[in-house]
Structure 1
């Protein structure tokens, strides 16, 4: 007679496959982070090496208000995901609308900054090394904000029309991971471009 105890099947923890969406987004974020690192290193390498003006100190102003708006949108998108998880469609729509609004304010602020730099300060992408690296890095981030806003706007439309339910909460969570990444990257870009190398 065997003395080996039999462990009930229910007592053995079953391995749960991770969400394909989360894993896919994590891989995308790692790849995108690598691209941003390359652009940030290039900006740091060429900082102060422009042979002609204008220089960052002469033309750049701290975009504090728009930065606060973008970073705050990470909070609102989190609340949107939480509301959807609990089946609160109206609250989900409200938080998504606030997220889109905050992201839109940031994008409009970036556009106004670029208009000022190009038409009043004479800084274009071909003016000097600063112009080339500045527009490349900030433009790369702005393009990610645009993509995020498009996806968030679609989510808002689906929420308003009742096509997004708590069953889609994981998809909104995946989208929120992308948006958190965009916000986190901006903190690094803000510090590098507007604080350390200004």
Structure 2
């Protein structure tokens, strides 16, 4: 009789696990489509990188020191998010919220610095309408910034959900896994942006 009581619960758990697995797999597919999006934007930038139309070049515009700080902030946010994920695995709610809050603040700082850079460039008459080079630059970098902003909203939502009854359930952990994939993906894209757009334009 004891064995019969355990079997349905185990089956329900397995069924729930099988239900959550396609969610993560589906999110991987979404990330692949995002790779295509960013790959297209990188290709456009590669074609337009020397189309200055008499305007400033990347070497004249870009401040590698400031962009380097942005890069450091975003990479650090990936580490703090990792600590948050480990805290969630250990079901340490206080630590989880702390590391998520640190990650959120780092991501917010990154977006703030990016907006400041754009504002400064536009104020000096170097907006996206100045040349094909700047159009491609603003489109690529702002698309990444928009993704980071969506990630920040997602972090806030997950943090709020962790206070509810669904915290630490397989469904919640599945959402956290998808968010982790998304956040680390943005780091990888930014490293490509830093290298291909900023660094190669200045060197």
> Which TM-score band (shorter chain)?
0.7 to 0.9
Task: Give how far 1:162 is off.
Answer: 4.4
Alpha-carbon distance change, 96 to 52 in structure 1, aligned in 2, over 3 angstroms: same
When the two structures are superposed, what TM-score results if normalisation uses the length of structure 2? 0.84
2:78 paired with 1:74: yes
Q: Partners of 2:58 and 2:44 in 1: how far apart?
A: 15
Alignment-derived partner of residue 190 in structure 2:
186
Give the CA deviation at 1:25.
1.1
1:9-53 deviations in Å (ceiling 9; x for gaps): xxxxxxx85812210110010000001000001101111122211
Aligned to 2:117, the other structure's residue is in SS state helix
Question: How far is 1:111 from its partner?
Answer: 0.7
- Please list, as runs of the form range in 1=range in 2, the aligned pairs for 1:122-161 lying within 5 A after superposition: 122-159=125-162, 161=163
- Structure 2 portions without partners, runs of 5+: 1-16
- Pairing partner for 2:28 from 22, 26, 29: 26
Larger Rg: 1
The Cα RMSD (Å) is 1.7
Taking structure 1 as the reference length, the TM-score comes to 0.86
CA distance in 2, matches of 1:31, 1:87: 33
Query: Is the deviation greater in 126-135 or in 17-26?
Result: 17-26
The answer (yes or no) to whether the contact 1:81–1:169 under 8 Å persists in 2 is no
Q: Is the 8 A contact 1:89 1:162 kept in 2?
A: no
The answer to which structure has the higher helix fraction is 2
Structure 1 segments (4+ residues) deviating >3 Å: 161-164
